Structure formats: C-alpha cells, structure tokens
Structure 1
Amino acid sequence: MKVAVMGAGAVGCYYGGMLARAGHEVVLIARPQHVQAVEARGLRLQTQSFDEQVGVSASTDAGAVQGADLVLFCVKSTDTQSAALAMKPSLAQGALVLSLQNGVENAETLRGLLEQEVAAAVVYVATEMAGPGHVRHNGRGELVIEPTSQGATLARTFAAAGVPVETSDNVRGALWAKLILNCAYNALSAITQLPYGRLVRGEGVEAVMRDIVAECLAVAHADGVRLPGDIEQAVRRIAETMPAQTSSTAQDLARGKRSEIDHLNGLIVRRGDALGIAVPANRLLHALVRLIEDRPRAG
C-alpha cells in the first residue's frame, strides 16, 4: 500500500513509521527541518520495544499525496481546511482519507471539501517529537475507526504493522469521549508543563478535573452524543497508562506554537453557550491557555 501522511508530527510519524516498518511505501509531508532529517537519516522510531531508523520518503509539498491509496490526515484542527485544499488537486480518486486528529468536527469538514472517502478515527497514543526526524512513543497506540469501504483491509493492514484497530459505528461518541479526556488533561498539563502522572498528584487537581468532566458530560448529553463506557474511569486511566506524557497542548506552548485549545475546551465553551449550559471550569482553562499563547515571547 502507498501511504501519505499529511501533517507528519508526532502522531503521523508514529503511525506512518509503523506502516513503513511493515513494508508499505510511506511519504511523510512535514515541516522542512523534519523533512531534511528524514532525507538524511530516515525516521527514527523509538518505542518501548525497539529503536530503529525506518526508511520513508519525505516532502514539504502537499502534492506528495499523489498516488496514495491511504492518506493519514494528521494536521492540527486549526489547519484542517487549508491542508485539505492544498492536497485536494493531487489526491487519487480512490484514496481513503483517514482523519487522525483531535476534536470532533474534522471529518465533517473534510467531507465538505473533498470528493474522496473520509473516515474519522479516534487516536489513543502517547507520542512526542524528540527532535527533527525522531519520534518517541511513550505508550498505547490503538485506533478506533468508523466503518469504511476498505474497513477489513485497513484493519488487517494496521494489525500487521502492530497497530490495534477497532471498528465502531459510534465513532462520534468515541471522539467525544477522547475530547473529554483532552479537556481534562491538555490545558492543565499545558499551563503547568507537567506530565500526567505528576499532574494528578497536585493538591486539588482531582476535584478540578471532576468539574471539567462534569461540564463536558452535561454538554455531550444535551448535544445528543452517545458516549461509550465509563468516562470518569477512562480519565483516571490516562494518568495510570501515560504517566510520563505531557499533552500536545503543553508541547505546543513550550514551542511557542498555537495550540488546538479552541477545538478542545473552547468547543465545550461554544457548545455550552449554544445549549445554555454553564461551563466555568472549561471557560477558565480556555482563557488561560489563550493568554499564554498570546503573550510576547523573549527574543
């Protein structure tokens, strides 16, 4: 299979690297510093069970999606529209575009822009870019994907590459469940720059997280979302299974980049306002992260 990774950051590099390691032809579409490192040395894929240089190609050009059977769409939610339009002229008619993104609205946005089949996926993986061309995997890695015309093939492909996949007819609910996990952890980790395991031991933090989650659940239920499983237990489990992980929002702020907070706690604020539900904890976190993003940086 020919695979293109649009937006090859930590998530895209991990899944693209795993597919390449299994023998698929993979091109990473990424920022220049990562492309240069990959062209020079390959992609360093450092996991809990192996540390290897994986052979992939790389490009800064969205046109590199040309000929791909599968496009892993991994850009930030803030860049969904611009990235989709950039790759649109080069997409093969029969390509499957798989959205591996935070937030709950990206797949619908893509369907409004592209003619190709689009499927949403929920990503449960702890990864970070440890340097140009170097992705570090800290835990988990499973995907929950909505049914597609290529569902059986896709599941076999990922499974053979060491990536567990579950197909679900309630991906909307699963995306909302992931959104709630992100709302509970991302902003707090970003503001404090602490990993999850250390974060939850802070005085008063568990109570704050309960307030955040309760607001999210109220909005989800009012919005008609069918949530899977025990959300409170899932929130607790994140700190247990990913104690060393800092949130993607924390990583963005540490690098002086704009985060996805508008599509996380900010989405809860927008939907809460529209539905008449008070969400003060989420509103405060959204405002604090935006203040940090907008402050002048030294130098």
Structure 2
Amino acid sequence: MKVLFLGRGVIASVYGWALERAGHEVEFLVRPGRAADYGDGIRLSLLDARRGLRGTRREETWPVTLRESLEPGHGADLIVVSVGHHRLRAAAESLAPHLGSATVLIFGNVWEEPDDVVAALPADRVAWGFPQAGGGFDADGVLQAALLRKVLFGTLGGAPPTAREREVRVLFATAGFTIAERADIRGWMWAHAIADAGMFTAAFRLGSMSAMIGRRDAFREAVLTTRELLPLLAARGVDLRRHRAFTAGYRAPAALVAATIAATTARVPLAQISLAAHTDAFAEEPVRLVRDVIAEARRLGVPTPRLDRADALIDAHSSAA
C-alpha cells in the first residue's frame, strides 16, 4: 500500500517508519520550501515496544521521500493526518480537492465535533484512529520517541467499520500493531483531549512537560484539572459510563494516582521518553488546546477554576515574551 503522511512530525515519522519496515511505500507531504530544510533522512532513536513493554532500541538514519505538492495521480492509497487539533479543519480542506482514490485516516487529537471538523472530506472516505506513541525532536534534530503495540480505532456512531476502514486496520495489524476498537471514538477522543489539557496545565507551572518527570505535585495537578473537566464531557453529551476505564483514574484519590504516575515516569523508560522530549510548555498546540477547552466550558456553563488559572499563566508567559 502507498501511504502518504501529512507533515513530518513525531507521529508521522514514527508510524511512517514502522509501515515502511512492513513493506509499504511511505511518503511525507510537507509545506513548500520545507523539504530542503528537513533533508532526505530522519535520525531516529526509537524505543519500539510492539513486542514487549521493555522495548527494543532502534537507532538509525532513515532515508525518506518528501513531496511539497499533491498532484493528480499521486497514487496514495491512504493519507494519514496527524496534526494539531487546531489545524485539522484546514488540513481537511486542503486535502479535499486532491484525494484521488485515497482513504484519509484522522490520527490525532480532536476537540470539535469530528464529522464537522472534517466536513470538507467525503464521510465515506474517512477513518478514525489514535496513535499510541510519543516523543519529540531533540536539540540535535534526533527523533527521541517511543512506540507502543496498540493502535486505537473506532467509527462515529459505533457503526461497523466500512471496507475502507477495515483496510486501514489490516494495514496496521500487518505492521505488528494490535488493533483496539473504541465503541465511542468521539467520546474517547474528547476524553483524551481533557487528559492532555490536565497535563499541559501542570506543565505551564513548571515550564515544560519534561520537568514533570518524577514530580508527584505536578501529576496531582494534572489529575485534579482533568477531574474538574469530566462534567464538561457530560455536558457535551458523552456518556461517561462508556468510559469507566478512563474516568476511574481521575476519580481515584489524586495523591495515590499521582504517586504512581510519578514513580512510573521516573523509572520506566517507555513512560519517560514522551515527556522528556517536550521542553516547551507554551508551544502552540498546548496553548490552543487549553484555551479551546476553556472556551467550550464557558459556552456550556461548566466551571473550570484550575484551567482558568492555567489561562492566567499563558497570559503571563505571553506578556513576558
């Protein structure tokens, strides 16, 4: 299968590497002028945990194919879109005239109504999934990342997967991934977004997510912030009973949960890598996500005092900059 990734970010690079190693043709669509900046290879330092939680360290320079435009006849069977949630609508609109026969996999955070944010794309051409990987490019341009075995998928409304959606699942399964279905993928994506908002809020206080490693106080703040956002999910129509595995961790004693996460991030490389690579708490995506969650909470009349304090930290950082 020919797979085209939109952008050459962390998720695109990690999964592109895995799919190419499984025998698929992989290309990256980047902005005009960026191909020369990126060069023709990605330096990887990857902890690959598809065959066990201890993981296997992969270090290599991976030659990649970059393109700066999407001409007719591009031949892609699948286009993978993993962009910041605030860029998703524009990405869908830019791709719509150039799809050819490709299926589009939305593969990242979503905070708006899913079918609305990608309304520019034919609904029967869209698949929904979520990665289980993380990391970042270090100061030397090396991608420091971790890759887990599971990949999450679901359909809007819980309908059975279409033939196109099944093909996407098979693609990942044959590349060594375990497919985990989410019956309510819309609710799950929104739940993940508020979990991220909790983490970002804690990172604002410390200056980076990397500074959270091993810090009980930081993870307690993250847990409590996400806990106060559970009513927001309910106000948006999410049935929290369908997401008990998610909500349980935020309804348990915050000090206990925080201590467990802090110890895990301090001692387990797989848990540490994703945080260690995030050295700028006030990057565009964290700021935009927190503010979009705040806006939705205010629209629905849900109080979010912890998130409001995070908003003040954003303002203070912007003023200082």
Q: TM-score range by the shorter chain?
A: 0.7 to 0.9
Counterpart in the other structure of 2:11 = 11
Letter in 1 for 2:305: P
| 1:198 partnered with 2:213 | yes
Shift of 1:260: 4.2
Matched-pair contact (CA < 8 Å) for 1:9–1:30: no
C-alpha distance in 2 between matches for 1:282 and 1:111: 27
Task: Tell me the equivalent position of 1:214.
Answer: 227
Code of the aligned partner of 2:300: L
Preserved CA contact (<8 Å) 2:200 2:209: no
Q: Is the 8 A contact 2:79 2:102 kept in 1?
A: yes
Distance 2:11 2:213 in 1: 23
Residue 62 of structure 2 is aligned to residue 54 of structure 1: yes
Task: List per-residue Cα deviations over 1:125-160 (Å, max 9, x = no partner).
Answer: 222123687422135363211244223332221122
Match of 1:80 in 2: 88
Question: Superposed, which structure 2 residues align to 1:158-169 within 5 Å?
Answer: 158-169=172-183
Once the 2 structures are TM-superposed, how far is the Cα of residue 113 of structure 1 from its aligned partner?
1.1
- How far residue 82 of structure 1 moved from its aligned partner, in angstroms, is 2.7
The question of 1:129 aligning with 2:145 is answered no
Show the counterpart of 2:249: 233
- 2:261, 2:143 → 1: CA distance? 20
Aligned to 2:169: 155
Aligned mates of 1:184, 1:200 — CA distance in 2: 14
Asked whether the equivalents of residues 38 and 57 of structure 1 are also in contact (C-alpha less than 8 Å), the reply is: no
Q: CA deviation at 1:31?
A: 5.2
Shift of 1:58: 0.7
Matched, 1:261 2:287: yes
In the TM superposition, residue 207 of structure 1 has moved relative to its aligned partner by 4.3
Percent of pairs with identical residues: 22
Match of 1:102 in 2: 109
Cα distance, 1:98 vs structure 2: 1.1
**RMSD in angstroms over aligned alpha carbons?**
3.1
> What per-residue deviation string (whole Å, max 9, x for no partner) do you get for residues 94-130 of structure 1?
3211112223327424431122622222233222123
How far, CA to CA, are the matches of 2:44 and 2:68 in structure 1? 20
Shift of 1:208: 2.7
Which AA in structure 1 matches 2:306?
Answer: A
Map of 1:276 onto structure 2: 301
1:20 positional shift: 1.3
Change in Cα spacing, 1:272 to 1:290, as seen in structure 2 (3 Å) is same
Partner letter of residue 272 of structure 2?
Answer: P
Superimposed CA distance per residue, residues 164-198 of structure 1 (whole angstroms, 9 cap, x where no aligned partner): 32222210121122112201212322442242752
CA contact (8 A) 2:10 2:137 kept: yes
Q: Secondary structure at the match of 1:178?
A: helix
The 10-residue stretch of structure 1 (193-202 or 230-239) with the greater mean CA deviation from structure 2: 230-239
List gaps (5 residues or longer) in structure 2: 48-55, 156-160, 251-256, 265-269
- Between 1:276-285 and 1:223-232, the stretch displaced more is 223-232
Question: Across the two proteins, how many residue pairs are aligned to each other?
Answer: 288
Contact 1:190/1:247 (8 A) holds in 2: no
CA contact (8 A) 2:213 2:275 kept: no
Say which SS state the counterpart of residue 274 (structure 2) adopts. Answer: coil
Structure 1 pair 110–56 and aligned structure 2 pair: CA distance change class (3 A) = farther
Q: Provide the C-alpha distance between the structure 2 equivalents of 1:112 and 1:183, rounded to a whole number of angstroms.
A: 25
When normalised by structure 1's length, the TM-score is 0.81
Q: Which runs of 5+ in 1 are unaligned?
A: none
Partner of 1:189: 203
Asked if the contact 1:184–1:209 (Cα under 8 Å) also holds between the matched residues in 2, the reply is yes
**1:179 aligned partner:** 193
